[in-house]
Structure 1
C-alpha cells in the first residue's frame, strides 16, 4: 500500500504512456509534452525528471528548471511537493494550472520561503482558428544579423516577466546561445526599425498538437 501511494520517477519505457496522459490537456501541457516527444524521458535529455503517483494517467509532475504539476488530485500534488522537499531545490519557478500549482506552493513555501510573485489568476489563452486581425506586414522572421537588438529585447522582456536577469550566472553566454538557437531554428519573428525591436514573438515550445507563442 505504501508503495502504491508513493511517488516515483518515470522511466524511458513509459514515454508513450506519458505522451498519452499529457494529451488530455494539450494546451497547458505543451511545454512539457514538447520535451517528452522530442527528447524522451531520459533525465539528461529531458532536463529533469517526470514524477508520477499511481501511474501517468492518474498523476504527473515535471521536476527540472521549473517545477510543473501536470495532473492529479490535491493529495497527489502535495505528495509531489513533499518529494521536492527531500532534496536540494532545483527549480526557479513553479508553473501550472492554479488548481494544481497553488496547493503545491502551500506545502513548499514554509521551507523554501516567500515567492518573488504569486500569479494565482493568470489567463491561459489559446487560438484554434484564424486570427481576427490582419497580420502586420512589417513583422518578419528574424535572422542572425538581427541577434544583437533581438537579444537586447529578449533580456528586457525576461527581466520584466520573470523578475531576474538571465545573464546573472554566466555573463549571459547561456541565454545568448538559447536565443541564437531559436533564431537559427526559424522560430523567432520581429518588427525591427532603425536597429530597434518594436515587436517580438517566438515559438517557445511546440508539441505535435500545440505551439506555445511567447513575446
Structure 2
C-alpha cells in the first residue's frame, strides 16, 4: 500500500527496472542494494524483508532496504524522514542502519525517539574505491579458499567479526548460520586468503557485487602478524583478481579510527569517494 503522506510503498518484481536505474545513479556506493535486487528480483520471500521505494510524480526517487540491515539508497533528507516514519510504524527489526552518512544520520534522527539506543554508532567511515592496477606488488600467496581451509579460515572469520563488531557472530546460537555464510562466500569464489605454511596470515571476502562494482569485507591479519605489510599486499592481490574476474571497481568502507587499515588501503591505491555511517543495535 502507498502512503499518500510519504509516497512510500514496498517494491516488487515489477519495480526492478526502475530500481536498477536508481542504483545506477551511484553504482559503487549502491552496490549492496543493486546486488540484493538482482539476486532476489525484489521478491520479499528472497529478500528476507522488504525494499521500500519513495515516489514523486509516479517516479521512484529513493529506496531503502529493510532486512537484517536498514540501507538507504539515493535518499535525501525528505526521503530519509519518510522511511523513518514507516520504520517507526513497524518497530525495530534490523540490527544495523548503514549507508551514506547524511542519509543514515537523518534516518536515525527519525527513529531515535521510538527505537532503543544503539550499541554503537560509527558516524564517519571512509568509503574507498580502486578502479585501476594496485600500486603495490600483490601477495602471490593469496588465493581463493576451499573447504580444506575451513579449519584455519572459520576461526579467522570469527576473530575478525568479533574484533570489528564487538560481539561474536556465534553469540546467541549463531554459529551454524555464520559458518553457512562463510561457506557460501567460499562456494561463490568470493573468499580469499594467504597462508604461511598451514597458517592463515591474511583474509578478505567479497561481500556483494554487481556488474559495476564489488564490495570487500572481512579484511583481517592475525594480531601478531600486523605491521609487516600483509594487508596492503594481500588487498592488492584481492583487488587485482576481483577487478579482472568479478567487477571493474572494488570498494570497501573502513572505520575512521583504524589508521593502520587506512594507510594500507591508501598504499594499494584506494581513494576515498564518500563517507558511510553505521548504527549498530
User: Residues 31-79 of structure 1, C-alpha deviation per residue, up to 9 Å, x if partnerless?
Assistant: 1101111221101112221112215641211111000111232121011
Indicate conservation of the 8 Å contact 2:54/2:60, yes or no: no
Deviation of the 1:171 alpha carbon: 4.5
Correspondence 1:88 to 2:91: yes
CA distance in structure 1 between the partners assigned to 2:200 and 2:87 by the alignment: 39
Higher relative contact order (CA 8 A, sep 6+): 2
CA distance in structure 1 between the partners assigned to 2:186 and 2:89 by the alignment: 38
CA distance in structure 2 between the partners assigned to 1:29 and 1:47 by the alignment: 19
Extract structure 1 runs of 4+ deviating beyond 4 A. Answer: none
Partner of 1:70: 73
Indicate conservation of the 8 Å contact 1:4/1:53, yes or no: no
Indicate conservation of the 8 Å contact 1:66/1:95, yes or no: yes
Aligned residues: 215
Partner of 1:30: 31
CA distance in structure 1 between the partners assigned to 2:166 and 2:16 by the alignment: 34
Determine helix, strand or coil for the equivalent of 2:71: strand
Deviation of the 1:20 alpha carbon: 0.9
Bigger strand fraction: 2
Partner of 2:212: 209
Partner of 1:149: 152
Q: Which residues of 2 match residues 113-152 of structure 1 at below 5 A?
A: 113-152=116-155
Q: What's the Cα RMSD here? A: 1.8
Indicate conservation of the 8 Å contact 1:139/1:189, yes or no: yes
Determine helix, strand or coil for the equivalent of 2:123: coil
Q: TM-score, normalised by structure 1?
A: 0.93
Correspondence 1:177 to 2:158: no
Correspondence 1:106 to 2:109: yes
Partner of 2:19: 18
Deviation of the 1:14 alpha carbon: 0.7
Structure 2 unaligned runs (5+)?
Answer: 220-281
Deviation of the 1:109 alpha carbon: 2.0
